[in-house]
Amino acid sequence: MDDLQHLKEEFEKLFGKPSALTYFCPGRVNLLGEHIDYNGGLVMPCAITLGTYLLVAPNNDGVIRFRSLNFPNKVDVAINSHLNRDTLMWFSSPMGVLHYLAADGNALQQGYDLLYYGNLPVGLSSSASIEMVTAFAFNELLEAGYEKLALVKMTMKVENDYIGVTSGLIDQFSVAFGESEKALVINCNTFTYQAVPLNLGEYCLAIINSNRPGNVAESKYNERVAQCRQALKYLQQQLPITVLCDIDTETLMEYKYLIKDEVLLKRARYVVEENDRVKAAALLLEQDNLKAFGELMYRSHLSLKELYEVSGIELDTIAEYSRFYKGVIGARMTGAGFGGCAIALVKEDSFDSYKADLTSYYTELIGYPPTVYRSAIGPGVGRLVNPVATI
C-alpha cells in the first residue's frame, strides 16, 4: 500500500482522473523529552518514514472531496464552508486547516479532490501528520507563503481549538522540521531547534505498537498538564520562573519544600530531570555515544513509569523485556503514554529475533500481540512528485 503507483491508481479509480500532486508528511517518535513541550523545556523527537500521503487534483466543481483509504466515511463540502465541529471525523482536522487558512485571507478559489492514506500506528502523531500534510499542500497550492513555523502554529491551533485536544507543539514541529538521520532538539520556549546527528550505525530504530485497546491518554494528559501548572505555581512563590523547565534538578531539590503535595513533587521532579536528560543526550549524540544515549532512554522510561505515572503494563513489558535483550541498547515508551507505542534501539542483525521473541513474550503476558516495525529516520513534510493534472 505504500507503493505510490498503487495510491495513484486508487485516486484514478475514485475520481476518474489522475492526481496532480503527491505530498507526504511523516509521523514522529520522541527519543527523549516526553511531556516536556508544555513545560517550556527541551524535547528530542525525530521524524520517521511512516506517515500520511495526500494526493491532490483541482476540480471545477467548487467542492472539496475528502477521501481516505483508511476510513470508509467520506465527505464533499462546498469550498470555504465547513462541517459542524460536533461531529468529529477523520476529515475534521484537514477541514480545520482549510478553515484557518481561509480565516487568514487564503480562501479557496476552486475545488479540490483529496485522497489521504496513512500508515502510522497509534500515538505517533497521525493527527499532526494529516494536519501538516494538508497545511503544507494548501500553502503551496494557494501560494499563501507561510513559513513552516507558521504552519506549525496553525496546525496546533487546529488541534487545540478546532478539534479541542490539548497538546504541546512537539508533534507538529517534528513532522514539519524533521531531517533524515537527525534528531531535533527543540526549545519549546523559543520555538527554535537544532538538528543533531543521529548516527545509528549498526543499530536500527524499532517501533513497537502495544496495541492496547481504549484511550485513557486524553483525560490523564489534561490531568498532568494541570498538575504541572499547579507545581509551577507553588515554586513561583519564591522563584521568578515562567515554566517548570526554567529550573534544573538541583534547584528543584533546593526549593522542593514549596511543593507540599507529594504527587505534584513527583511530577515536577520528572519534568526537570527529563529536561536535564535531553541536554545530556544532545551532547552524547554529538559525541556519537549511542550506548550512553540508550541508557538515558531506559532511565526516561523508568521515570515516566514511577514519577510521571503515564506508562502501563503493556509499555513497561516492552521496555523491560528490551532492556535485557542482547543487541538492544535503549528502549522507552514514546508519546503521551498509557497505550500507543514504545521504541527501541536494536542491533540490525538482532532485529528479526528481537521482533519474534518480544512478540511471543508480550503475547503470552498481555494476551494479544504487539506490532513491531522498523523505521528509518526521515525528512519532514514535503511534496514527492509533480506530474501535471489535466482537468
Interacting residues with ligand GLA (CB under 6 A): 30, 34-35, 37-38, 167-168, 170-171, 335-336
Task: Kindly calculate the radius of gyration of the chain based on its CA atoms and give it in whole angstroms.
Answer: 21
Q: And the C-alpha cell for 286? A: 554529538
Q: What is the 3-state secondary structure (H, E, C) of 29-41?
A: EEEECCCCHHHCC
349 among known catalytic residues: no
What phi and psi values does residue 111 have, to the nearest 5 degrees?
-85, 170
Give CB contacts under 8 A, 24+ apart, made by 79-85. 79/107, 79/108, 79/109, 79/110, 79/111, 80/107, 80/108, 85/162, 85/163, 85/164
Is residue 139 within 8 Å of residue 149, measured between CB atoms? no
Shortest reach from residue 365's CB to ligand GLA, in Å: 25
Cα dihedral 75→78→84→88 (10° resolution): 30
Which CB sits closer to ligand GLA, 328 or 336?
336
Beta strands 341-347; 371-375: pairing state = unpaired
Q: And the C-alpha cell for 128? A: 499532526
Which CB sits closer to ligand GLA, 111 or 335?
335
Which CB sits closer to ligand GLA, 34 or 179?
34
Burial of 111 (0-12, 13-18, 19+ CB in 10 A): buried
Distance CA 75, CA 35 (A): 35
Which CB sits closer to ligand GLA, 108 or 175?
175
User: 169: which DSSP letter?
Assistant: S
Shortest reach from residue 321's CB to ligand GLA, in Å: 23
Q: And the C-alpha cell for 220? A: 490523564
Is residue 53 within 8 Å of residue 118, measured between CB atoms? yes
Shortest reach from residue 22's CB to ligand GLA, in Å: 26
List of E strands, 97-178: 111-118
Shortest reach from residue 135's CB to ligand GLA, in Å: 16
| Among candidate residues 316, 378, 343, 381, the one with its CA nearest the CA of residue 33 | 343
Single-letter amino acid, residue 334? T
Which CB sits closer to ligand GLA, 269 or 355?
269
Distance CA 27, CA 123 (A): 9
Which CB sits closer to ligand GLA, 30 or 155?
30
Shortest reach from residue 167's CB to ligand GLA, in Å: 3
Q: How many CB atoms lie within 10 A of CB 73?
A: 10
Which CB sits closer to ligand GLA, 37 or 246?
37
Shortest reach from residue 261's CB to ligand GLA, in Å: 22
- Catalytic residue selected from 37, 113, 171, 246: 171
β-bridge partners, 78: 63
Which CB sits closer to ligand GLA, 22 or 129?
129
Q: And the C-alpha cell for 262? A: 507529594
Q: Which residues are catalytic?
A: 171
